[in-house]
Structure 1
Protein backbone atom coordinates (compact mmCIF):
# COMPACT_ATOMS: atom_id res chain seq x y z
CA UNK A 1 0.00 0.00 0.00
CA UNK A 2 1.08 3.54 -0.65
CA UNK A 3 1.46 5.94 2.26
CA UNK A 4 -1.78 7.68 1.25
CA UNK A 5 -3.63 4.35 1.20
CA UNK A 6 -2.21 3.45 4.62
CA UNK A 7 -3.36 6.80 6.00
CA UNK A 8 -6.84 6.26 4.60
CA UNK A 9 -7.00 2.80 6.21
CA UNK A 10 -5.83 4.25 9.54
CA UNK A 11 -8.39 7.06 9.28
CA UNK A 12 -11.25 4.64 8.54
CA UNK A 13 -10.24 2.19 11.27
CA UNK A 14 -10.11 4.99 13.83
CA UNK A 15 -13.55 6.20 12.71
CA UNK A 16 -14.94 2.68 13.06
CA UNK A 17 -13.38 2.18 16.47
CA UNK A 18 -14.65 5.58 17.59
CA UNK A 19 -18.18 4.72 16.49
CA UNK A 20 -18.05 1.43 18.37
CA UNK A 21 -16.57 2.86 21.58
CA UNK A 22 -18.87 5.91 21.65
CA UNK A 23 -21.89 3.65 21.06
CA UNK A 24 -20.80 1.27 23.80
CA UNK A 25 -19.52 3.71 26.43
CA UNK A 26 -21.05 7.09 25.61
CA UNK A 27 -19.18 10.26 24.76
CA UNK A 28 -18.04 11.13 28.28
CA UNK A 29 -16.78 7.68 29.31
CA UNK A 30 -15.05 6.90 25.99
CA UNK A 31 -11.30 7.36 26.24
CA UNK A 32 -8.65 7.88 23.63
CA UNK A 33 -6.86 4.81 24.99
CA UNK A 34 -9.91 2.60 24.51
CA UNK A 35 -10.52 3.92 20.99
CA UNK A 36 -6.95 3.42 19.80
CA UNK A 37 -6.76 -0.02 21.42
CA UNK A 38 -9.89 -1.06 19.54
CA UNK A 39 -8.47 0.32 16.29
CA UNK A 40 -5.03 -1.20 16.87
CA UNK A 41 -3.17 2.12 16.74
CA UNK A 42 -1.46 4.58 19.08
CA UNK A 43 -2.69 7.80 20.63
CA UNK A 44 -0.46 9.62 18.20
CA UNK A 45 -2.40 8.23 15.23
CA UNK A 46 -5.69 9.49 16.65
CA UNK A 47 -4.26 12.92 17.41
CA UNK A 48 -2.63 13.13 13.96
CA UNK A 49 -5.85 12.28 12.14
CA UNK A 50 -8.42 13.98 14.37
CA UNK A 51 -6.70 16.19 16.92
CA UNK A 52 -8.22 14.24 19.82
CA UNK A 53 -11.40 12.60 21.02
CA UNK A 54 -13.59 15.63 20.24
CA UNK A 55 -12.21 15.87 16.71
CA UNK A 56 -12.92 12.19 16.18
CA UNK A 57 -16.49 12.67 17.41
CA UNK A 58 -16.97 15.61 15.02
CA UNK A 59 -15.54 13.59 12.12
CA UNK A 60 -17.91 10.72 12.92
CA UNK A 61 -20.94 13.02 13.09
CA UNK A 62 -19.86 14.80 9.88
CA UNK A 63 -19.55 11.48 8.04
CA UNK A 64 -22.92 10.35 9.40
CA UNK A 65 -24.52 13.64 8.37
CA UNK A 66 -23.13 13.33 4.84
CA UNK A 67 -24.51 9.79 4.61
CA UNK A 68 -27.88 11.08 5.85
CA UNK A 69 -27.92 13.94 3.33
CA UNK A 70 -27.08 11.62 0.44
CA UNK A 71 -29.80 9.20 1.54
CA UNK A 72 -32.34 12.02 1.95
CA UNK A 73 -31.53 13.41 -1.48
CA UNK A 74 -32.02 9.97 -2.99
CA UNK A 75 -35.33 9.46 -1.15
CA UNK A 76 -36.63 12.91 -2.10
CA UNK A 77 -35.60 12.37 -5.70
CA UNK A 78 -37.83 9.32 -5.83
CA UNK A 79 -41.00 10.79 -4.33
CA UNK A 80 -43.97 11.19 -6.63
CA UNK A 81 -46.61 12.73 -4.37
CA UNK A 82 -47.25 14.45 -1.04
CA UNK A 83 -47.63 11.19 0.92
CA UNK A 84 -44.28 9.93 -0.37
CA UNK A 85 -42.73 13.29 0.58
CA UNK A 86 -44.02 12.97 4.15
CA UNK A 87 -42.79 9.37 4.33
CA UNK A 88 -39.34 10.36 3.03
CA UNK A 89 -39.00 12.96 5.80
CA UNK A 90 -39.82 10.60 8.68
CA UNK A 91 -36.72 10.65 10.89
CA UNK A 92 -34.90 7.35 11.13
CA UNK A 93 -33.01 6.83 14.37
CA UNK A 94 -30.28 8.79 16.09
CA UNK A 95 -26.89 9.93 14.84
CA UNK A 96 -25.36 6.45 15.20
CA UNK A 97 -28.47 4.44 14.37
CA UNK A 98 -29.87 4.13 17.89
CA UNK A 99 -27.02 2.48 19.78
CA UNK A 100 -25.27 5.70 20.73
CA UNK A 101 -28.17 7.90 21.73
CA UNK A 102 -26.62 8.41 25.16
CA UNK A 103 -23.41 9.64 23.51
CA UNK A 104 -25.33 12.16 21.43
CA UNK A 105 -27.04 13.63 24.48
CA UNK A 106 -23.79 13.62 26.49
CA UNK A 107 -21.99 15.47 23.69
CA UNK A 108 -24.83 17.98 23.49
CA UNK A 109 -24.53 18.70 27.22
CA UNK A 110 -20.71 18.75 27.11
CA UNK A 111 -20.57 21.20 24.20
CA UNK A 112 -22.48 23.81 26.22
CA UNK A 113 -19.23 24.51 28.08
CA UNK A 114 -17.10 24.55 24.91
CA UNK A 115 -18.03 27.71 22.97
CA UNK A 116 -15.38 27.27 20.27
CA UNK A 117 -16.48 23.71 19.52
CA UNK A 118 -20.14 24.74 19.73
CA UNK A 119 -19.57 27.47 17.12
CA UNK A 120 -18.03 24.93 14.75
CA UNK A 121 -20.88 22.47 15.26
CA UNK A 122 -23.55 25.15 14.81
CA UNK A 123 -21.93 26.43 11.60
CA UNK A 124 -21.80 22.90 10.17
CA UNK A 125 -25.42 22.28 11.19
CA UNK A 126 -26.58 25.47 9.49
CA UNK A 127 -24.86 24.44 6.26
CA UNK A 128 -26.53 21.02 6.40
CA UNK A 129 -29.90 22.64 7.04
CA UNK A 130 -29.40 24.93 4.03
CA UNK A 131 -28.72 21.86 1.88
CA UNK A 132 -31.87 20.16 3.14
CA UNK A 133 -33.94 23.30 2.52
CA UNK A 134 -32.66 23.37 -1.07
CA UNK A 135 -33.61 19.68 -1.50
CA UNK A 136 -37.09 20.36 -0.11
CA UNK A 137 -37.55 23.45 -2.30
CA UNK A 138 -36.80 21.41 -5.42
CA UNK A 139 -39.04 18.54 -4.31
CA UNK A 140 -41.97 20.71 -3.22
CA UNK A 141 -41.75 22.71 -6.43
CA UNK A 142 -41.69 19.54 -8.53
CA UNK A 143 -44.69 18.09 -6.67
CA UNK A 144 -46.53 21.41 -6.30
CA UNK A 145 -46.73 20.83 -2.53
CA UNK A 146 -46.81 23.70 -0.04
CA UNK A 147 -45.71 23.61 3.59
CA UNK A 148 -47.66 25.36 6.34
CA UNK A 149 -44.46 27.07 7.51
CA UNK A 150 -41.21 28.23 5.92
CA UNK A 151 -39.02 25.32 4.84
CA UNK A 152 -36.18 26.61 7.05
CA UNK A 153 -38.48 26.00 10.02
CA UNK A 154 -39.62 22.63 8.63
CA UNK A 155 -36.00 21.46 8.60
CA UNK A 156 -35.48 22.50 12.23
CA UNK A 157 -38.78 20.84 13.17
CA UNK A 158 -37.81 17.57 11.47
CA UNK A 159 -34.43 17.59 13.26
CA UNK A 160 -36.03 18.22 16.65
CA UNK A 161 -38.71 15.64 15.94
CA UNK A 162 -36.07 13.06 15.05
CA UNK A 163 -34.16 13.64 18.27
CA UNK A 164 -37.28 13.52 20.39
CA UNK A 165 -38.59 10.39 18.70
CA UNK A 166 -35.23 8.64 18.93
CA UNK A 167 -35.26 9.26 22.68
CA UNK A 168 -38.89 8.15 22.94
CA UNK A 169 -38.16 5.01 20.94
CA UNK A 170 -35.24 4.15 23.23
CA UNK A 171 -37.27 4.70 26.40
CA UNK A 172 -40.82 3.70 25.44
CA UNK A 173 -41.20 0.80 23.03
CA UNK A 174 -44.99 1.21 23.07
CA UNK A 175 -44.92 4.53 21.26
CA UNK A 176 -45.40 4.21 17.51
CA UNK A 177 -42.81 6.84 16.64
CA UNK A 178 -43.37 6.44 12.91
CA UNK A 179 -47.09 7.23 13.31
CA UNK A 180 -46.26 10.29 15.42
CA UNK A 181 -43.78 11.51 12.81
CA UNK A 182 -46.22 10.97 9.94
CA UNK A 183 -48.93 12.82 11.88
CA UNK A 184 -46.71 15.82 12.57
CA UNK A 185 -45.29 15.95 9.06
CA UNK A 186 -48.74 15.46 7.58
CA UNK A 187 -49.86 18.65 9.30
CA UNK A 188 -46.82 20.48 7.93
CA UNK A 189 -47.55 19.28 4.39
CA UNK A 190 -51.37 19.12 4.27
CA UNK A 191 -53.07 17.14 1.51
Structure 2
Protein backbone atom coordinates (compact mmCIF):
# COMPACT_ATOMS: atom_id res chain seq x y z
CA UNK A 1 0.00 0.00 0.00
CA UNK A 2 2.83 2.38 0.90
CA UNK A 3 4.54 1.65 -2.43
CA UNK A 4 1.31 2.47 -4.28
CA UNK A 5 1.05 5.74 -2.35
CA UNK A 6 4.61 6.71 -3.28
CA UNK A 7 3.90 5.90 -6.92
CA UNK A 8 0.70 7.93 -6.78
CA UNK A 9 2.54 10.89 -5.25
CA UNK A 10 5.18 10.73 -7.96
CA UNK A 11 2.50 10.63 -10.67
CA UNK A 12 0.74 13.64 -9.13
CA UNK A 13 4.03 15.52 -8.94
CA UNK A 14 4.81 14.80 -12.58
CA UNK A 15 1.28 15.74 -13.63
CA UNK A 16 1.54 19.07 -11.80
CA UNK A 17 4.87 19.87 -13.41
CA UNK A 18 3.51 18.96 -16.86
CA UNK A 19 0.43 21.13 -16.32
CA UNK A 20 2.58 24.10 -15.35
CA UNK A 21 4.83 23.71 -18.39
CA UNK A 22 1.86 23.32 -20.73
CA UNK A 23 0.04 26.36 -19.32
CA UNK A 24 3.20 28.45 -19.31
CA UNK A 25 3.98 27.55 -22.91
CA UNK A 26 0.54 28.61 -24.04
CA UNK A 27 0.71 31.94 -22.21
CA UNK A 28 4.30 32.70 -23.20
CA UNK A 29 3.32 32.21 -26.84
CA UNK A 30 0.08 34.21 -26.57
CA UNK A 31 1.40 37.12 -24.50
CA UNK A 32 5.17 36.94 -24.53
CA UNK A 33 7.41 36.34 -21.54
CA UNK A 34 7.30 39.85 -20.08
CA UNK A 35 3.50 40.08 -20.19
CA UNK A 36 2.91 36.68 -18.59
CA UNK A 37 2.50 36.77 -14.80
CA UNK A 38 2.94 33.77 -12.53
CA UNK A 39 -0.62 34.09 -11.10
CA UNK A 40 -1.94 33.70 -14.66
CA UNK A 41 0.14 30.57 -15.16
CA UNK A 42 -1.06 29.10 -11.87
CA UNK A 43 -4.68 29.78 -12.77
CA UNK A 44 -4.30 28.33 -16.27
CA UNK A 45 -2.62 25.21 -14.89
CA UNK A 46 -5.23 24.76 -12.16
CA UNK A 47 -2.66 24.47 -9.39
CA UNK A 48 -1.65 26.50 -6.37
CA UNK A 49 1.05 29.17 -6.28
CA UNK A 50 2.90 26.99 -3.80
CA UNK A 51 2.93 24.15 -6.32
CA UNK A 52 4.57 26.38 -8.89
CA UNK A 53 7.38 27.37 -6.53
CA UNK A 54 7.80 23.80 -5.40
CA UNK A 55 8.78 22.87 -8.94
CA UNK A 56 10.39 26.08 -10.21
CA UNK A 57 12.40 28.77 -8.46
CA UNK A 58 10.81 31.56 -10.47
CA UNK A 59 9.19 32.43 -13.79
CA UNK A 60 12.50 32.30 -15.62
CA UNK A 61 13.13 28.75 -14.38
CA UNK A 62 9.70 27.73 -15.67
CA UNK A 63 10.44 29.41 -19.01
CA UNK A 64 13.72 27.51 -19.17
CA UNK A 65 11.82 24.24 -18.69
CA UNK A 66 9.44 25.17 -21.51
CA UNK A 67 12.33 25.96 -23.85
CA UNK A 68 14.19 22.78 -22.92
CA UNK A 69 11.09 20.69 -23.63
CA UNK A 70 10.59 22.35 -27.02
CA UNK A 71 14.21 21.76 -27.98
CA UNK A 72 14.05 18.14 -26.86
CA UNK A 73 10.87 17.56 -28.87
CA UNK A 74 12.56 18.82 -32.02
CA UNK A 75 15.59 16.59 -31.46
CA UNK A 76 13.35 13.55 -31.06
CA UNK A 77 11.57 14.38 -34.32
CA UNK A 78 14.86 14.84 -36.17
CA UNK A 79 16.10 11.47 -34.91
CA UNK A 80 12.81 9.84 -35.89
CA UNK A 81 13.04 11.21 -39.43
CA UNK A 82 16.75 10.43 -39.81
CA UNK A 83 17.12 6.86 -38.51
CA UNK A 84 20.32 4.84 -38.55
CA UNK A 85 19.05 2.92 -41.57
CA UNK A 86 19.71 5.98 -43.76
CA UNK A 87 23.09 6.80 -45.19
CA UNK A 88 24.94 9.69 -43.55
CA UNK A 89 24.12 11.95 -46.49
CA UNK A 90 20.45 10.98 -46.55
CA UNK A 91 20.22 11.47 -42.78
CA UNK A 92 21.58 15.02 -43.02
CA UNK A 93 19.02 15.95 -45.66
CA UNK A 94 16.16 14.25 -43.82
CA UNK A 95 17.19 15.83 -40.53
CA UNK A 96 17.24 19.28 -42.08
CA UNK A 97 13.75 18.84 -43.48
CA UNK A 98 12.58 17.52 -40.09
CA UNK A 99 13.92 20.60 -38.31
CA UNK A 100 12.12 23.02 -40.59
CA UNK A 101 8.91 21.02 -40.26
CA UNK A 102 9.20 20.86 -36.48
CA UNK A 103 9.72 24.62 -36.27
CA UNK A 104 6.34 25.16 -37.92
CA UNK A 105 4.64 24.30 -34.62
CA UNK A 106 2.89 27.57 -33.61
CA UNK A 107 4.93 29.59 -31.14
CA UNK A 108 8.05 27.44 -31.36
CA UNK A 109 10.12 29.91 -33.36
CA UNK A 110 9.27 32.68 -30.92
CA UNK A 111 10.15 30.56 -27.90
CA UNK A 112 13.45 29.18 -29.20
CA UNK A 113 14.82 31.85 -31.51
CA UNK A 114 13.45 35.13 -30.15
CA UNK A 115 12.35 35.03 -26.51
CA UNK A 116 14.76 32.27 -25.53
CA UNK A 117 17.96 34.23 -26.19
CA UNK A 118 16.39 37.43 -24.80
CA UNK A 119 15.27 35.84 -21.52
CA UNK A 120 17.95 33.23 -20.88
CA UNK A 121 20.89 34.76 -22.71
CA UNK A 122 22.82 33.50 -25.69
CA UNK A 123 25.20 31.35 -23.65
CA UNK A 124 22.43 29.39 -21.95
CA UNK A 125 20.47 28.97 -25.18
CA UNK A 126 23.63 27.63 -26.84
CA UNK A 127 23.96 25.11 -24.02
CA UNK A 128 20.36 23.97 -24.55
CA UNK A 129 21.00 23.69 -28.30
CA UNK A 130 24.08 21.59 -27.60
CA UNK A 131 21.98 19.10 -25.68
CA UNK A 132 19.39 18.81 -28.41
CA UNK A 133 19.26 20.26 -31.95
CA UNK A 134 22.94 21.09 -32.39
CA UNK A 135 23.83 17.69 -30.96
CA UNK A 136 21.85 15.89 -33.67
CA UNK A 137 23.35 18.15 -36.35
CA UNK A 138 26.89 17.60 -35.10
CA UNK A 139 26.37 13.83 -35.00
CA UNK A 140 25.11 13.93 -38.58
CA UNK A 141 28.06 15.99 -39.78
CA UNK A 142 30.56 13.76 -37.99
CA UNK A 143 28.99 10.66 -39.54
CA UNK A 144 29.21 12.22 -42.99
CA UNK A 145 32.84 13.19 -42.45
CA UNK A 146 33.72 9.68 -41.34
CA UNK A 147 32.23 8.34 -44.56
CA UNK A 148 34.07 11.09 -46.42
CA UNK A 149 30.76 12.43 -47.75
CA UNK A 150 31.84 15.84 -46.42
CA UNK A 151 35.33 17.29 -46.43
CA UNK A 152 37.07 17.03 -43.07
CA UNK A 153 36.71 20.53 -41.58
CA UNK A 154 36.42 21.71 -37.94
CA UNK A 155 33.08 20.17 -36.98
CA UNK A 156 32.22 22.57 -34.15
CA UNK A 157 32.55 25.59 -36.43
CA UNK A 158 30.59 23.87 -39.19
CA UNK A 159 27.81 22.93 -36.75
CA UNK A 160 27.48 26.54 -35.61
CA UNK A 161 27.32 27.87 -39.16
CA UNK A 162 24.91 25.29 -40.55
CA UNK A 163 22.73 25.51 -37.44
CA UNK A 164 22.57 29.29 -37.75
CA UNK A 165 21.49 28.97 -41.38
CA UNK A 166 18.66 26.63 -40.39
CA UNK A 167 17.57 29.02 -37.63
CA UNK A 168 17.51 31.95 -40.06
CA UNK A 169 15.44 29.89 -42.48
CA UNK A 170 12.99 29.00 -39.70
CA UNK A 171 12.66 32.68 -38.73
CA UNK A 172 12.09 33.74 -42.32
CA UNK A 173 9.43 31.06 -42.83
CA UNK A 174 7.72 32.09 -39.58
CA UNK A 175 7.54 35.66 -40.87
CA UNK A 176 5.79 34.54 -44.04
CA UNK A 177 8.69 33.52 -46.25
CA UNK A 178 8.25 30.88 -48.91
CA UNK A 179 8.70 27.60 -47.03
CA UNK A 180 9.44 25.57 -50.15
CA UNK A 181 12.03 28.08 -51.31
CA UNK A 182 13.89 27.98 -48.00
CA UNK A 183 13.65 24.21 -47.84
CA UNK A 184 15.21 23.94 -51.31
CA UNK A 185 17.89 26.46 -50.38
CA UNK A 186 18.84 24.56 -47.23
CA UNK A 187 18.93 21.27 -49.09
CA UNK A 188 21.21 22.92 -51.68
CA UNK A 189 23.48 24.09 -48.86
CA UNK A 190 23.77 20.54 -47.44
CA UNK A 191 24.19 19.05 -50.90
CA UNK A 192 26.99 21.55 -51.54
CA UNK A 193 28.82 20.23 -48.49
CA UNK A 194 28.29 16.69 -49.73
CA UNK A 195 29.55 17.60 -53.18
CA UNK A 196 32.66 19.04 -51.58
CA UNK A 197 33.31 15.71 -49.92
CA UNK A 198 32.86 13.90 -53.21
CA UNK A 199 35.35 16.17 -54.95
CA UNK A 200 37.90 15.72 -52.17
CA UNK A 201 37.46 11.96 -52.34
CA UNK A 202 37.86 11.94 -56.13
CA UNK A 203 41.02 14.00 -55.76
CA UNK A 204 42.57 11.27 -53.63
CA UNK A 205 42.77 9.01 -56.61
Query: Would the TM-score normalized by the shorter structure come out above 0.5?
Result: yes
When Rg is computed on C-alpha atoms for both structures, the one with the higher figure is: 2
Shift of 1:132: 4.3
Shift of 1:5: 0.9
Consecutive unaligned residues of structure 2, counting only runs of 5 or more, are: 199-205
Contact 2:38–2:59 at 8 Å: present in 1 too? yes
Alignment partner of 1:179 is 2:187: no
Relative contact order, higher structure (CA 8 A, sep 6+): 1
> Which of the pair is proportionally richer in helix?
2
Shift of 1:66: 2.3
Consecutive unaligned residues of structure 1, counting only runs of 5 or more, are: 113-117
Matched with 2:100 is 92
Contact 1:17–1:38 at 8 Å: present in 2 too? yes
SS in 1 for 2:100: coil
Matched with 2:87 is 80
Match for residue 11 of structure 1 among 13, 17, 20: 17
Cα deviation 1:112-155 (Å, max 9, x = unaligned): 4xxxxx654444444444564235423553x5412474322232
Contact 2:103–2:170 at 8 Å: present in 1 too? no
Report the aligned-residue RMSD.
Answer: 2.9
Matched with 1:115 is none
Contact 2:67–2:116 at 8 Å: present in 1 too? no
- Closer/same/farther in 2, CA of residues 26 and 164 from structure 1, 3 Å limit: same
Q: How far apart are the structure 2 equivalents of 1:47 and 1:111?
A: 19
Matched with 2:201 is none
